[in-house]
C-alpha cells in the first residue's frame, strides 16, 4: 500500500515536471512590429457596430450604401447593443474580429481609453468647429479627441399645456408657480422631477458655481471636486427649500413622476425626450421648453452625447476617420434625425428649420445646446450615489446641505482612492 502510493506520487511529480518544462510560453519573434508611417492603403471593407435598434440600423445601412457609392469602400453594418459594445470589443478586438467603428454614450469613453479599446483621431479644426462645442468637449479625454459626436440628449421642462399656459421666464417664477399650484393632500403638484437623482439636479448646483471635476484644457481633474464649494452648497440649499416647502415629496421616483403627470395632476416636470411619447399617448398636450433661467443664467444641464469612435484594433484609421466624418456630416445627421428623432450635434442642423420649427424638439435641442457634458472619466461612477444620498439626506431634513455635501465629497474621494487602489 505504502509503496504503491510512493510510486504514484513519484510518477505524478515526474509528469508535472515534464509538463512544466514544456510550458515555456509562446514563441515570439523578438523584433517589435513597428508600423511604417505614411498613408495607408484604401481598404476593401470597413466594419461598423451600430446599436441594435431598427431605426438606428435603417439609417446606418442607408448611409453605408451611400458611402460605398462615394468611395468604393464597402461598409458592413453589424448590430450590437450600444451598451454591450465595449464588452464585446474587449473579446473580439484581440481576436481580429472587431469592427473599425463603434458607438456608445460619451460617458463611457474614459473607461474605453483606459482599457485601450479606442484610439485618438486626428481631424482639422474646421471639422470640429462644425459641432456644438459641448459635444466636442464630451468627445475629449485627457486632452485628446477620441471620436466625433453624432447625437445629443438633455433634459428640459415638459409642461401640461392645460395647466400651464406659458413656461415661465425664470426659475424663480417657476417656483412661485409651483407654490401656488401644489397641494400634496390632493396629490396636485406644480413642478415635479426626480429630485434625489443627481442627474436632474446638477444644473441647480452648477448655476451657483458648483462643478463635479475641474476642467483644464480638455482634461478633467478627479482630485479637484467642486461639489462642496460654496456654490454647490447654495444650490443644494435651494433644492432643500423645495422639499421643505413641500413642493417635492421625498423619495420620489421616476415612475411616480410619470404616473402623476399622465393623470394630469402635475403642471410641469423636468424630464428627457424619452418620456414624451408616453405622455402624449396618455392624452396630455405636452409642451417642451428649455429650463428657465436660474440665478440669471441659462441652466447648464448634464447632456449625454452619442459619438462614433475608432477601435484600437482597426488597421484602417485614415479611412475610418473619413467614414466618421461622413456619418456625422450634415446630410447624414439630417437623415438620422428624420429616421430616429435624435437631436443632431451639428451647429448648422441645430439652426436648421427642420429642428427649430418642431416645437417638441426645439425645447430639447435648445437645452442640449447650452448643457454641459457629463464627465466622461470613470471616476464619475463614484460620484452619483454619494451625491444622490446627500440630496436625500437634505430632502428628508436629516442633514444640513453643508454637512451632507462635505460628507459626500469625502466619500467620493475615498471611493475614488479605493477604485484606483
Residues that bind other proteins (CB under 8 A): 1, 3-4, 7-8, 10-12, 14-16, 19-20, 22-26, 90-91, 93-94, 111, 114-117, 184, 187, 249-253, 255-256, 259-260, 312, 378, 381-382, 385, 388-389, 392-393, 396, 399, 407, 411, 414-415, 417-421
25 vs 296, beta carbon nearer other proteins: 25
116 vs 359, beta carbon nearer other proteins: 116
123 vs 260, beta carbon nearer other proteins: 260
289 vs 387, beta carbon nearer other proteins: 387
d(CA 321, CA 24) in angstroms, rounded, equals 41
143 vs 251, beta carbon nearer other proteins: 251
Q: How many CA atoms lie within 13 A of 349 on its CB side?
A: 25
CB of 165 to other proteins, least distance (A): 27
CB of 212 to other proteins, least distance (A): 17
120 vs 292, beta carbon nearer other proteins: 120
CB of 203 to other proteins, least distance (A): 22
326 vs 384, beta carbon nearer other proteins: 384
CB of 113 to other proteins, least distance (A): 8
CB of 317 to other proteins, least distance (A): 15
CB of 11 to other proteins, least distance (A): 4
291 vs 380, beta carbon nearer other proteins: 380
d(CA 142, CA 220) in angstroms, rounded, equals 7
CB of 415 to other proteins, least distance (A): 6
Reading the block at residue 13, the C-alpha cell is 511529480
CB of 202 to other proteins, least distance (A): 18
Amino acid at each position: 500500500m505504502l509503496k504503491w502510493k510512493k510510486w504514484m506520487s513519484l510518477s505524478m511529480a515526474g509528469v508535472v515536471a515534464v509538463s512544466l518544462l514544456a510550458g515555456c510560453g509562446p514563441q515570439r519573434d523578438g523584433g517589435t512590429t513597428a508600423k511604417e508611417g505614411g498613408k495607408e492603403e484604401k481598404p476593401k471593407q470597413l466594419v461598423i457596430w451600430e446599436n441594435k435598434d431598427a431605426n438606428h440600423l435603417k439609417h446606418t445601412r442607408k448611409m453605408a450604401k451611400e458611402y460605398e457609392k462615394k468611395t468604393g469602400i464597402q461598409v458592413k453594418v453589424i448590430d450590437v447593443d450600444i451598451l454591450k459594445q465595449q464588452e464585446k470589443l474587449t473579446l473580439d478586438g484581440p481576436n481580429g474580429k472587431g469592427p473599425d467603428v463603434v458607438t456608445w454614450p460619451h460617458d463611457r469613453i474614459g473607461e474605453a481609453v483606459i482599457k485601450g479599446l479606442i484610439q485618438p483621431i486626428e481631424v482639422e479644426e474646421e471639422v470640429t468647429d462644425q459641432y456644438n462645442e459641448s459635444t466636442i468637449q464630451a468627445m475629449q479625454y485627457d486632452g485628446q479627441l477620441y471620436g466625433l459626436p453624432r447625437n445629443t440628449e438633455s433634459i428640459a421642462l415638459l409642461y401640461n399645456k392645460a395647466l400651464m399656459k406659458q413656461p415661465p421666464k425664470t426659475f424663480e417664477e417657476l417656483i412661485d408657480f409651483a407654490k401656488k399650484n401644489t397641494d400634496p393632500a390632493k396629490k396636485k403638484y406644480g413642478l415635479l422631477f426626480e429630485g434625489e437623482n443627481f442627474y436632474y439636479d446638477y444644473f441647480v448646483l452648477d448655476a451657483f458655481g458648483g462643478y463635479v471635476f475641474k476642467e483644464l484644457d480638455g482634461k478633467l481633474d478627479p482630485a479637484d471636486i467642486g461639489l462642496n464649494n460654496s456654490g454647490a452648497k447654495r444650490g443644494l440649499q435651494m433644492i432643500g427649500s423645495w422639499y421643505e416647502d413641500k413642493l417635492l415629496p421625498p423619495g420620489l421616483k421616476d415612475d411616480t413622476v410619470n404616473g402623476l403627470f399622465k393623470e394630469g395632476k402635475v403642471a410641469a416636470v423636468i424630464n428627457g425626450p424619452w418620456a414624451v411619447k408616453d405622455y402624449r399617448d396618455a392624452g396630455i398636450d405636452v409642451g417642451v421648453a428649455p429650463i428657465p433661467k436660474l440665478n440669471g443664467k441659462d441652466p447648464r444641464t448634464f447632456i449625454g452625447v452619442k459619438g462614433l469612435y475608432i477601435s484600437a484594433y482597426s488597421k484602417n484609421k485614415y479611412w475610418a476617420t473619413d467614414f466618421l466624418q461622413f456619418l456625422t456630416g450634415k446630410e447624414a445627421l439630417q437623415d438620422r434625425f428624420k429616421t430616429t428623432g435624435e437631436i443632431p450635434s451639428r451647429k448648422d442642423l441645430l439652426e436648421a428649420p427642420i429642428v427649430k420649427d418642431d416645437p417638441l424638439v426645439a425645447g430639447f435641442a435648445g437645452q442640449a445646446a447650452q448643457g454641459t457634458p457629463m464627465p466622461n472619466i470613470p471616476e464619475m461612477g463614484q460620484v452619483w450615489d454619494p451625491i444622490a444620498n446627500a440630496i436625500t439626506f437634505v430632502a428628508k431634513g436629516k442633514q444640513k446641505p453643508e454637512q451632507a455635501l462635505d460628507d459626500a465629497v469625502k466619500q467620493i474621494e475615498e471611493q475614488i482612492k479605493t477604485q484606483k487602489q
